[in-house]
Amino acid sequence: MNMEYLSTQPYKGVRDFYPEDMAIQRYIFDGWAKTAERFGYARVDASIFEPSALYRAKGQENEEMVNEQTYTFTDRGDREVTLRPELTPTLARMIAGKRHELYFPVRWYSIPNLYRYERPQRGRLREFWQLNADVFGDNTIACDVDMLVYVANIFKDFGATLDTFVIRVNDRGWMNSVFDSLNLTDEQKRAMFLLLDKKNKITAAAFDAEAKEIIGADFTLPSPSADSRIMQTVNILHDLGITNVVIDPAIVRGFNYYTGLVFEIYDTNEENSRALGGGGRYDNLTEMFGGDPITGIGFGMGDVSMVNFLITHQLLPENLTPAPTLTILPLEEIAAGEAIKIANKFRAEYIATVVDATDRKLGKKLEHACDDGIKFALVLGSDEVTSQSYTLKNLFTREQTTGTAEELIKKILS
Amino acid sequence: MNMEYLSTQPYKGVRDFYPEDMAIQRYIFDGWAKTAERFGYARVDASIFEPSALYRAKGQENEEMVNEQTYTFTDRGDREVTLRPELTPTLARMIAGKRHELYFPVRWYSIPNLYRYERPQRGRLREFWQLNADVFGDNTIACDVDMLVYVANIFKDFGATLDTFVIRVNDRGWMNSVFDSLNLTDEQKRAMFLLLDKKNKITAAAFDAEAKEIIGADFTLPSPSADSRIMQTVNILHDLGITNVVIDPAIVRGFNYYTGLVFEIYDTNEENSRALGGGGRYDNLTEMFGGDPITGIGFGMGDVSMVNFLITHQLLPENLTPAPTLTILPLEEIAAGEAIKIANKFRAEYIATVVDATDRKLGKKLEHACDDGIKFALVLGSDEVTSQSYTLKNLFTREQTTGTAEELIKKILS
């Protein structure tokens, strides 16, 4: 064949998942699934393909996002398609599509793969996975509180203690009422939200100066009153033992659609300075599909953030990569059927078993099996086949046991 | 907001996965994972994005496939990208990329999402999932046999008996040697493979006429000799109790890369007339990346085929959709924190619990919880909070039990 050789590198900004990478991903996804289900969320998903209109729907800002930060193309049927950059619009579409069949409150979670066209950097990839959990049709404080109890438990269930992460909360509704009391225009409000968003990254003096420029007067953020929804939420959480919740006016979240509680989770280790995840309450997400508004609250966090957090706090177990338990190594004289017949006895008892009848040297096979994490080996010669008595080698301890297949199965399972 | 309402329909040829759909998908994927791991396969994956060159690499035929049957576009960095239509080229890329670090034989499985731009029809969608299992670096008969033992066990592990499916096998190597003995040109061989591919759909007379036209003489397919690899493979399988394996010269598989054993699985119920899955042996898959050839054997089957098979044979369990076990329904006077505090006691014992503090009517809440499959309800009033004695309703049997949270936990877990 006359050709240039292809590169073995993956496409820019995406990952290959070899068994050791996949084992970590499955550990995270399985953990996410278990906590979500314990809190009563049902798993859903949809396609990566969505009509681009779903993301353009909310005006100029979204137009730019779709055009510049997503994978968007026109298919041969002249449909404009976007690879989903987030799941929330899809969930809104699915909720709106079955609003008359669903019983509210609806609690859904999902672990979708998402796509963003951006310059790859630490913690930001073009393809990533994200845990999403949402409750639709419940606007109570109990629902806000329970969402944050759930979020704290995601971390706790991976073994994290409350001193390793902090939940920063704010209330867009309360912020809006503060701005309303100052008679700010929509444009001024918007500018103030953008300024608050960078509050923790600039000096107090710089913040005050910019605020004054926006509203034309000195700006002092009042504290929320004791009976405000956000204070009640925080107090209940503290009372429930979720003591790592703090009010932070700098939490505004980028998306326009949040209307109430907003929150972000941060690692207390400053090496991980970006938010680990976040979310908030929205009250009109299905409006683009018509019908009465449906309230909701949602949370999202990425797979890369989760892995970084677990590594930082030494919470990622070692040796996650699964290996077969037993390798059967038939000598040259042994027929294929004999080796597989014995393998099937172990497999029938749910012992993960492989057969290696290749002509590689026995010593190498044993060495590589051990390096791959396979614990037991059974070398099969004609004596063993005749006597139906086999010798099981423990490749980790070098211990040997001889017996029938039934006896060795008991040994392995013990 | 002044706008046209958006459709709630998904993009053409793809599916939304509501909880009931997702539960079926997870049942299939979990089953696939369990069998693969019992046979010693390690799970891998990669991105949906691949350089288009990976699929164009093998000549004109693939050029057409990429241009007409895939989602292919040029990104803003001028890279031509294809959404993977199959996993095998990706696996070849990953194997080639780590060929010096891996111990062969390597056994990998994957459940990737794949994309094909084609007219949606029964069993063919634009987005689908596929089980892939491959063994690299093992060219023994034992490996061929064990792959088919594994394939039979995928079905058996879902409860299927051997009379519900048949494994049709053939050997491209043997077919080639038959054609070589007739001195056929490459073009004649190719035409004969295409003709064999449709053998089971045309009359014997039509087949004979077309064969004569291609090779210029009457064509009679000889039977493989008793010591041929394909006959040995089938005999060992029969001996191992996999009796539903038959040799079928019409099994040639579309892909050019198969060089030895090829096989397809069929439902014995003729309603499902398309192959449920298939695969074969290839001996040069990594050649486009350079280096010595690596032999391999692979199997693939789609999620839609699997679901259709299970439904046809009544092997899909009912009530797969998970529901929370318990719903806590606080009356109006109950503070949010109280209800969640009690919910957390049940959650700590891994009882999936939700709290519904919305102002919907209690009767409706109980009715909908039952319809959603929630088994227990706990109505929380001030008497219950004061006495710490609660009444648990079994929504399925109407049975009621009163006791402390600890007593009710025992009741639910029993």
Bridging pattern class, strands B106-110 and B245-247 = unpaired
Last residue of a domain, one of B281, B312, B343: B312
Distance CA B189, CA A411 (A): 54
Same domain? For A409 and A294 the reply is no
Q: Do A107 and B354 touch (CB under 8 A)?
A: yes
Residue A255: pLDDT band with limits 50, 70, 90: low
For residue B18, give the nearest of A25, A37, A94 by CB distance: A94
User: What residue of A is the nearest CA neighbor of B139?
Assistant: A358
Who contacts B343 (Cβ-Cβ below 8 Å, separation ≥6)? A146, B326, B328, B353, B354, B355
B12, B17, B93 member nearest A45 (Cβ) = B17
Calculate mean pLDDT across residues B42-64: 87
- Tracing tokens 């299905």 back to the chain, one arrives at A286
Residues B97 and B173 in one domain: yes
Binding residue ranges of B:
86-88, 116, 130, 134, 253, 257-258
Handedness of CA A397, A401, A405, A406 (dihedral sign): negative
Render the burial of A382-397: b for 16+ CB within 10 Å, e for the rest: eebbeeeebbbbebee
State both tokens at B140: 């023994």
Cα–Cα nearest to B268, from B162, B121, B122, B169:
B162
Q: Please, which residues 312-331 of chain B have a Cβ atom closer than 8 Å to chain A?
A: 321-324, 327, 330
For residues A4 and A325, the model is more confident at A325
Contact A136, B47 (CB under 8 A): no
Q: From the candidates B14, B26, B146, B328, which should be mutated to test the interface with A, based on the most A CB atoms within 10 A?
A: B146
At residue B1, the pLDDT reads 42
B104 CB within 8 Å of a chain A CB: yes
Helix or strand (DSSP H, E) at A412: helix A405-413
Positive or negative: CA dihedral B250, B256, B261, B267: negative
Contacting residues for B261 by C-beta, under 8 A, at least 6 apart: B144, B147, B169, B170, B171, B172, B229, B230, B233, B280, B281, B297
Q: Which residue of A has its CA nearest to B127?
A: A47
| More confident: A102 or B76 | A102
Residue A371 confidence (pLDDT) above 90: yes
**How many structural domains is chain B composed of?**
2
- Give the DSSP letter string of B170-190: EEHHHHHHHHHHTT--HHHHH
Nearest CA in chain B to A75: B71
CA nearest to B71 within chain A: A75
Spatial neighbors of A203 by CB under 8 A, at least 6 apart, are none
Alpha-carbon dihedral B206, B212, B215, B217, rounded to 10 degrees: 150
- Taking the CA of residue A141 and the nearest CA in chain B, the distance in Å comes to 7
Domain endpoint, select from B260, B280, B312: B312
Q: Is residue B297 part of a domain?
A: yes
Same domain for A342 and A299: no
Q: What is the pLDDT of residues A71-129, one digit of tens each?
A: 999 988 899 999 999 999 999 999 999 999 999 999 999 999 999 997 767 667 999 99
- Average pLDDT over all residues of chain B: 93
Taking an 8 Å cut-off on Cβ atoms, the answer to whether A26 and B43 are in contact is yes
Q: Does A45 touch chain B (CB under 8 A)?
A: yes
Residues of chain B above pLDDT 70, percent: 97
Q: How far apart are CA B86 and CA B73, in angstroms?
A: 17
pLDDT in tens, A15-74: 999 999 999 999 999 999 999 999 999 999 999 999 999 998 766 677 888 888 999 999
Shared domain for B101 and B163, answered yes or no, is yes
User: Phi and psi (nearest 5°) for B329?
Assistant: -120, 90
Q: Which residue has the higher pLDDT, B164 or B256?
A: B164
- The reported pLDDT for the residue numbered A4 is 75
Residues of B (113-132) whose Cβ lies below 8 Å from A: 113, 117, 126-127
> Is residue B1 less than 8 Å (CB to CB) from chain A?
yes
For the CA atoms of B198, B254, A19, A306, what is the dihedral angle to 10 degrees?
-90
Mean pLDDT of chain A: 93
Residues annotated within a binding site of A: 86-88, 116, 130, 134, 253, 257-258
Q: Is residue A383 domain-resident?
A: yes
Q: Which residues of A294-308 are buried (b: 16+ CB within 10 A; e: fewer)?
A: bbbbbbbbbbbbbbb
Smallest CA-to-CA distance from B134 within B357, B297, B355 is with B297
From the candidates B129, B326, B356, which should be mutated to test the interface with A, based on the most A CB atoms within 10 A? B356
- Cβ within 8 Å, pair A49-B14: yes
Taking 50 as the threshold, does the pLDDT of residue B2 lie above it?
A: no
Helices of type H across A254-361: 303-312, 336-348
Q: Could you tell me the CATH number of the domain that includes residue B246?
A: 3.30.930.10
Question: How many Cα atoms are found within 13 Å in the side-chain-facing hemisphere of A60?
Answer: 0
Residue A394: pLDDT over 90: yes
**Nearest beta carbon to residue B73 from set A73, A356, A357:** A73
Q: Is the pLDDT score of A3 beyond 60?
A: no
Q: What is the CATH number of the domain that holds B369?
A: 3.40.50.800
Sort out which chain A residues have CB atoms less than 8 A from B145's CB and list them. Answer: 336-337, 340
Rounded CA gap, A118 and B101, in Å?
32
Provide the pairing of β-strand B80-83 with B72-74: antiparallel
- Asked if the model's pLDDT at residue B134 lies above 90, the reply is yes
Task: With a cut of 60, say whether residue B250 has pLDDT above it.
Answer: yes
Q: How far apart, in whole angstroms, are the C-alpha atoms of residue B95 and residue A36?
A: 35
Q: CB of B347 within 8 Å of any CB in chain A?
A: yes
Q: Are strands B326-330 and B353-355 parallel, antiparallel or unpaired?
A: parallel
Amino acid at A28: I
- Name residues 209-268 of chain B within 8 A of A (Cβ): 236, 239-240
Q: Report the residue of A286, A358, A380, A395 to disrupt the B interface, i.e. the one with the largest count of B CBs within 10 Å.
A: A358
Contact (Cβ atoms closer than 8 angstroms) between residue B249 and residue B175: yes
Is A187 within the bounds of a domain?
no
Give me the DSSP letters along A364-404. Answer: HHHHHHHHTT--EEEEE-HHHHHHT-EEEEETTT--EEEE-
Shared domain for B333 and B364, answered yes or no, is yes
The tokens for A108 are: 């859904």
A301 and A275 share a domain?
A: yes
DSSP letter (8 states) at residue A102: S
Q: Is the pLDDT of residue B256 over 80?
A: no
Instruction: Based on the fold, state whether residues B145 and B270 are members of the same structural domain.
Output: yes
Do B113 and B227 share a domain, yes or no? Answer: yes
Arithmetic mean of pLDDT, A368-386: 96
- pTM assigned to the model: 0.95
- pLDDT value of residue B120: 67
A404 and A282 share one domain: no
| Listed range (A355-369, B135-149, B269-283, B358-372) with the worst mean pLDDT | B269-283
Per the CB < 8 A criterion, the answer to whether A79 and A47 are in contact is no
B242 within domain boundaries: yes
Chain A CA closest to residue B41: A324
What is the identity of the amino acid at B23? A
Q: Does B358 reside within a domain? A: yes
Q: Which residues pair with A400 in a beta bridge?
A: A393
Q: Are residues A25 and A117 in the same domain?
A: yes
A4: in domain: no
Q: What band does B287 get if pLDDT is binned at 50, 70 and 90?
A: confident
d(CA A336, CA B143): 8
CB contact under 8 A, B47 and A146: no
Q: By the CB < 8 Å criterion, does A138 face chain B? A: yes
- Shared-domain flag, residues A296 and A344: no
| B249 in a structural domain | yes
CA A186 to centroid of chain Cα atoms: 35
Last residue of a domain, one of A312, A343, A363: A312
Interface check A50 vs B, CB under 8 A? yes
pLDDT higher than threshold 60 for residue A2: no
Interface of B with A in 143-182 (CB under 8 A): 143, 145-146, 149, 153
Judge if A344 and A396 occupy the same domain: yes
State the smallest CA–CA distance between residue B289 and chain A in angstroms: 5
Supply the pLDDT for residue A58: 67
Both structure tokens of A163 = 């001193």
Asked if residue B385 is part of any domain, the answer here is yes
H-helix segments, B98-201: 141-157, 172-181, 186-197
Residue B5 and residue A290: Cβ atoms within 8 Å? Answer: yes
Out of A333-337, B92-96, B285-289, B382-386, which region has the weakest mean confidence (pLDDT)? B285-289
Are residues B8 and A96, on separate chains, in Cβ contact within 8 Å? yes
Helix (H, G, I), strand (E, B) or coil at B340: helix
- Please tell me which of the candidates B17, B352, B354 has its beta carbon nearest to residue A46: B17
Residue-number span of the structural domain to which B353 is assigned: 326-413
CB contact at 8 A, A71 and A103: no
